[in-house]
A and B are shown apart, each in its own frame.
Chain A
Amino acid sequence: MVERPDLHTLTGAYAVDALPDGERELFEAHLAVCAACEQEVQELQATAARLGAISASRPPAGLRARVLAEIDGVRQERPEAAAHTVLDELAARRSLPRLVTGGLGIAAALLLVAVGGLAALVLSLQGQVADLEVVASAADQTSSELRTVTERLAQLEQQTTDTPVPTSSALTDVLAAPDAVTVSVTHDDVLGRVVASPTRGEAVFIAEGWEPAPHQHTYVLWLINPDGAAPAGLFDPDEDGRATRVMTGDVAGATAVGITIEPEGGSPVPSDEPMMVLQLS
């Protein structure tokens, strides 16, 4: 596994929740494969919790009753869920897609139909989406996914150490790849651009002119292929409406990239038709 020593210095920023979205999820993937960081994070989170425990504030009257009433109707996770893969945990906690690659059962959850260059997503939910679980037999695959993600983080880390501008090495690598393709779509000055290298299996999404996502929502990238759509990362435009996101997942197998607006934290499946589709092939 490629690992840069300074990846480990992120334990502190992670423990105080100071990693920006995206980097946080990637670091969590690193944590899953780095026992030393995991141990240190536990200790630093316990330390941070001490900082948090220096203030107390009586919750508003009535909140207790509302919470108790609400939990009465909330199904608890079952014990086996706790033993699930780290990716599962990540997906539940925030945003890294539960199904990082296709082939982990996503085809069972949804079906994509591409018609005349316009992609329409037809959701075929089988049971509760929340019940989708990564099967144990995917553990090896998951492990290799984690390595990939960790390597991406190392790349991201490399560039952020030097400069806040998102000209990642992954981006330059993709741009320099002989088979790199660039696809752009513009609607009303809102630009989406994907630079993808199928042989490298990497793609970068670049946004310009985007409004912030609605309250408690986020933009989600999807890698679309004839079998379905898999989440490929979140992005939040900065104050200039720009974002650059190294996409995760099976880039080589994707025929298009779609963008939807999802509730904060992302979704395992698109909740609506994409607001923008970029055809890769």
Chain B
Amino acid sequence: MAAEGRWLHPVAGADEVTVPVQGPDEEALLLAVARGDQAAFAALYDRIGALVHGIVRRVVRDPAQSEEVTQEVMVEVWRTAVRFDPDRGSARTWILTMAHRRAIDRVRSEQASRNRTQRVAGQQHARDFDEVSEHVEVAFEHEQVRTALDTLTDLQRQAVELAYYQGYTYREVAELLDTPLGTVKTRMRDGLIRLRDALGVA
């Protein structure tokens, strides 16, 4: 647990929280969870619950729904932990990927019930995407991520951020950015590849 002494501090908002730097102990905890170890699950919750809640809040926004989704994600971590394969990525990636997807699913199902009236009324995309940059500024982790995002072209960055942080599909992103679908898909991919390289993600 070499990383234990290092903590990252958010600058954002009232929900002050500390999150430990990612470390191999998370894999160990998740593997223990897969064997039914509830104490390991509690430890994992303490370690990563704020990150799960953070990404869910960012995408879902509504506090009550975010709480529900966070709970769903953590219960799913428990239920499906046996699927985690450390050879395929870190525990943190596995959990945050699940959290993001659950959050997206929630946003989409909300949109499905709201869209009709809103879109017809021309209020489509009420979420101004200036917010995106602001949210990234607010975020605390690492100058590294900020710096890496700065290496992207505007279109790459907007495509990635609109999708990841705002939950838009690539089709919606294409519409928002008035860019062809194929271009948006390509920019999402080459933008992420550039980020991957800038962040040194294996």
Contacts and interface: CB of A to CB of B under 8 A. Distances in A.
Given A13-B188, A46-B90, A89-B83, A57 B54 contact: yes
A16 interface: yes
B119 interface: yes
A18 B168 contact: yes
Which residue, of A12, A70, A215, has the highest number of chain B Cβ atoms within 10 A? A12
A94 B104 CA distance: 12
Contacts of B22: 53
Contacts of A76: 34, 36, 78-82
A47 B169 CA distance: 18
A160 interface: yes
Interface in B123-155: 135-136, 138-142, 145
A42 B145 contact: no
A262 B36 CA distance: 30
B96 A42 contact: no
A76 B76 CA distance: 9
Interface string B62-89: 0100010011001100111111010011
Interface string A47-75: 11111111111111001101110111011
Interface stretch (A77-85, A97-105, A270-278): A77-85
Contacts of B168: 18
B160 interface: yes
A11 B78 contact: no
A10 interface: yes
Which of B55, B115, B168, B181 has the most chain A CB atoms closer than 10 A to its own CB?
B55
A241 B116 CA distance: 8
A74 to B, nearest CB: 5
A54 B185 contact: no
Interface in A14-47: 15-21, 42-47
B28 interface: no
Interface string B32-66: 00101010011001100111111101100001000
Nearest to B12: A55
A127 B181 CA distance: 45
Contacts of A57: 12-13, 15, 17, 50, 53-54, 57
Given A18-B170, A239-B116, A58 B16 contact: yes
A92 interface: yes
A138 B175 CA distance: 42
B164 A55 contact: no
B182 to A, nearest CB: 5
Given A16-B188, A46-B93, A236-B112, A54 B140 contact: yes
Interface centre among B82, B160, B192 (most CB of A within 10 A): B192
A216 B192 CA distance: 30
Interface of A: 6, 9-13, 15-21, 42-60, 63-64, 66-68, 70-72, 74-79, 81-82, 89, 92-94, 160-161, 164, 212-218, 236, 238-239, 241, 264-265
Closest 5 CB pairs of A and B: A12-B189, A12-B188, A54-B139, A18-B163, A54-B141
16 contacts: A12-B190, A12-B193, A13-B184, A17-B163, A46-B89, A49-B90, A50-B199, A51-B165, A51-B195, A52-B100, A54-B142, A55-B54, A59-B70, A92-B80, A161-B182, A236-B108
